[in-house]
Each structure stands twice: as structure tokens, then as C-alpha cells.
Structure 1
Amino acid sequence: MVRFRNVAAGHGMFNWWDNGNNQIAFSRGDRAFIAINNEDRSALNATLQTGLSSGDYCDVISGDLSNGFCTGKTITVGWDGRAHIYIAVDDEDPIIAIHVGSKVCRGNGIDQGVIDPVDLVHPNPVSPTGTERTVVFINKQTLVGQDLFLRGGIGHEGRPGCTRDAVSSQCAIPISHRIGGTNTNLNSWKQGDNHLDWYGVECGQGLSAQGSPLAWTTSNSNNAATVSSQGYGYTPLNQWGDHYWMLDVDMDCSRTENGWFELKAITRYPGGFVKWESDRNQGTCGGTAGGNKPYSSGNHFARCGKINAFDFDGNTCTIDEF
């Protein structure tokens, strides 16, 4: 619990739950979660919001994370941050505690490529081959201390071989970040972020990451900071104004759906509170590359090898050639 305290320090209390008696649970921002059963006759048996990204976590009360495995209980967090929590009345320690540092990392860090090219929903996908520079802009006015992240790839309902781990999931898309500069937070969050995926922190990323990090940009060439030097600020790729947050990566287009991929943005607030975009209903995209999404989902759709621009919680889209 010493590491739990260190990981949670400075992060607010969210997702409070109680049963009206002696069972409680809460998260510390997006970093940690704890549940306590102090009842004599009733088990704590509930599905609760943990505030954490999806994956398997080791309960640090009953054991720990050791060599990639849990020596005690394993708590599985779903796509929506919820987990089923069970604490019996006769447990030696009627508490479970998990945190981002106790997340189990699957795979060996080597992406095996496309295992099964058959798409259950779209049986004849034709995706580009090779890696291409791909840029995504999300227009979201923010305040100091707020950051944006992307989750994305291909929806689990549309492709076989998808897991909760970026390395092994066929719904994750390999990427390599292109933005450099001196932005300390961005540099921490992009390290180890080797996929655009739905699952949150990858092994080796900064623990407060919520996915693939975006850099704040402006179209104002007089801005003192530049993306090329500081990792945020002015970039000539931004043609629209302030508060266009940018992902600039080399992307494996062969893992897309006929060149298209899905994405959704997350805002992270000081203290660890996070807010996802609501479901989207994207229409035809304008721009020099434009086009229509290949299938329906509640996410934005972007094109590999293009410059893509969206509004946070908006349905319009612009896709341009470089």
C-alpha cells in the first residue's frame, strides 16, 4: 500500500459508492481504486466504476504484481472502467486495492502483425500496405492543466482476434510518434505508446496517460512555442486556430479498414478526472481527401496517411492530403 499511496498522491476522490451501511468504494482520480467490506454478514458483490483504463490489475492487498502475474486476486476492468468486485465476509483482509502500477502487461512487447485478415462484419477488407505519416487534430478549448488523449483502432465487434492488450489485439494499430521537443509530460506519455488502441496505458508509458497523447497547437505563427521545438504551440499543419490538439505519428495502414480507423478523444483534468467524448454520428467528410466512413459506429473515423480534423463532441470532419 506504500506504492498505492505514492501513485494516488495528489489525485482527487471520485466514483464514490456505498451500500448505505458498511461497504464503500472510491477511486483516486484515474490512478487507483479501493473497496472495503466492513460488514459481518454480507459479501460486497457489485459492479463498480474504478476510474481506471481497461485491463487486468493485481490486488495489492492479497498479493502483488510479480513477473507479469498476480500473486493474489486479479481484478478485471472493462472498456467502461467498471469491474466486478467481490469481497467475502470471511476474507482475511476484507479490502481490495488496485492502481496503475499493478496493471498486468501482456505479450512480449513485439507486435505479431495481422494474425487473421478475415473481418466478420466486412468480409472483404482491402487495406493499404506499409506505414504512412498520419495526423489527427481534435478541436477542444482547454484550460491550463487539462490534456487530451486518443483511444482508437478498429471496433471489437468488427474484427476477430481482439483482446484487452494493445500488443496482441488485432483491433490495435501500431504507431510511432513523430513529435519531439521539450514537453516533459508529452515525452513521458508517448514513451511506450506503440499503438493506437482502446485500452489506456501501455507498458512503459507514463502512469497518468489515458491513451495516445495529443499536443496542443495553434495556427498563429507568432506563438512563442512551436511543436518542433517545445512539443506544443505553432505548427504549419494547423490551418484553423487555437486549441487544435494534434497526434502526429507514423501508422501501420495495413491494420486499418480500407485505410480508415476509429477514434475517440478523452479530456484529462487536474486531479485525475477524465471525460470521454459522447458517441458521434459522422457524415461525409470534407477536405481534399474527404470521403465516407466504411461502416457505422459511435466514433470518429479518420484516414491513414492523411491530415484529419474533428471537433470534440462534434460530427463534422475534414480530411486533407499532406
Structure 2
Amino acid sequence: MEFNDQRVRYFFEAARLGGVRAAADRMDIAASAVSRQIRQLEEELGTVLFERHRRGFQPTEAGHLLLDYHRKQLSEQEAVLTALRELKGIHRGHVAVVTGGGVINDLIDAIHPFSQRYPQITVGIDIQGTNDIVRAVLEDRAHVGVVFYTLPNPLLRVHRSSVQPLYAVAAPDHPLACAPRPISLAELARHKLALPDVSFGVRQILRDAEKAEQCQLEPAIVTNSFRVMVEYALTGQAVTVQPRFSVRRELESGQLLAIPIEQRNLQQAELHLITHQGRRLSSAASRLLEMLAGSMPAFRDAPLNL
């Protein structure tokens, strides 16, 4: 059995973008040409690669195998091109990092010396929720992920893990500031809350804590913006739940307080530095990974597994 790699690219773009027409627009060719290439690829392989659903095209099991193959090909090509450039003494390239909004200050502080040392290597930073961070790393759209809480996944390699307990974060004049510490989850539930949506690790940990304590949190504000949650806390209108590193500057300036919560799930939450297991990282990505593992304050005392 043989197949044409160029046709795999048409299939990959159609799957990635959700349809033949979107792939045709992206590649600046006729939709009929994309359909024809995918049809010929299916004939070469003797199997169906797409199933048509109400929401568009969905890859079959065979289709997913082919998509994984193509992602690995792209990753290998990137690594080889980077190595060839470095043989010529040219340190160029691009590294994509995906993370949550609460990590951004630590991340920028760690990336700054990397950019000074390698000015011709560009760094892309994408802010996502936990589920999308993991997906971006697994689909090789990002080289490195910094993710707050994730279930064990054999397809992910965890380079560093750091226990980062979750705290109730409130303004100094908020009623919780005077409450006996640590507070209970039931006490937290009595106050107006600004929390992330369920795609974020913090909310997933809170869901586990709610089940364990048989106590339900009813947030008044649900958002995918870390900054929105912090701003509500700063005004004193609501309490949010975050690890200390997310609001380090506000804690140091006295604008916010981190109030411990007596709940096992919240006290054992973890931050992870991850890559796709088995992916061959370019030299640029490997060097940035090393610098993040060594210099991000949240990972400072955590075991290293590079």
C-alpha cells in the first residue's frame, strides 16, 4: 500500500479547518480539487477517511491515524530544518507556547532572557483554557504547554510539576479578609464568586472539591478571562480562586489577599510543564523548555525531568 504525501496535506487541511471549502480557501485552490485529491487518497488507501455529520466533516479512525502521521512528518521536518540552519551557524526559528492567563507574568519573566540570548528566534504565546492547552500540545500546534491541573495522559510528557494550592483571593476590605483561617468551602460558597468556566483547570479542581465536600459553588461571574476575575476581586465586589503565583504582584502590593481554603483537592493542585510525548523538539524549542524549567518561579523547587 502506498499513498501520496501531497494528498495527505489536502486531507489534513480539510480536517483541521472543518471542511473542504475552508481548506480550499486556505490553500487558494478550487474546492473540487481538494475533494478530488482526498477521494484519490481514499482510493489509494482503500478506506474512508471522512464521515459527514451535521456539523461538517469528521475524520474516521483511519483518518485520525493519517492525521497523526502527518503531524509527526511536520514535526520532523521542522526539527531537521532547524538543525540544518544551526549547522550554518544561524540561530533562527519559532517556538509556540500555550498557557493559561494566570501564568503569563512568570512566563514573560522567564522568556525575556531567552529572547535576549537568541534574538532571531521568535516566540508565540497563546492563552487558552486547560482543555485547549492539552489539545494544542497533542496536535503539535504548540511545542510547550504550561497547564494548571490535568489528568494523567500517556501522550503527554511532564517535565516539571509543582504543587500550587488554590486560595480564595479577595480585597483587604472584603468580609472574607476577617474570617477565621483557613476557611471552608462552605464559607466560600456564601460569597459572590468570579470563577473561570469549566474548560479551565481551576474550575475542574473546584468541581472535584464540591463533590468531595457535597457543597455547590454558584458563581455570579463566569469568564474565560483571568484578568476579569482579578479585576472583580480588586474592586471588592467578588472573590475569585487562584494559586498565589497568579496574583503575586497584587499580593506583594497589598491590593489582594490570599486566604487558605481547608480542602484537600485545592491544597494538592499542580502546575505542569508539558510537551507531546515522543515529539522531536527543535533545538530552539528544547532550549526554551530548559530555560522555562529552570527559571519560572512557580517551578523553582520542583523536580526536573528533561
When normalised by structure 2's length, the TM-score is 0.27
Higher relative contact order (CA 8 A, sep 6+): 2
Greater fraction of residues in strand: 1
CA radius of gyration, larger in: 2
Greater fraction of residues in helix: 2
When normalised by structure 1's length, the TM-score is 0.26
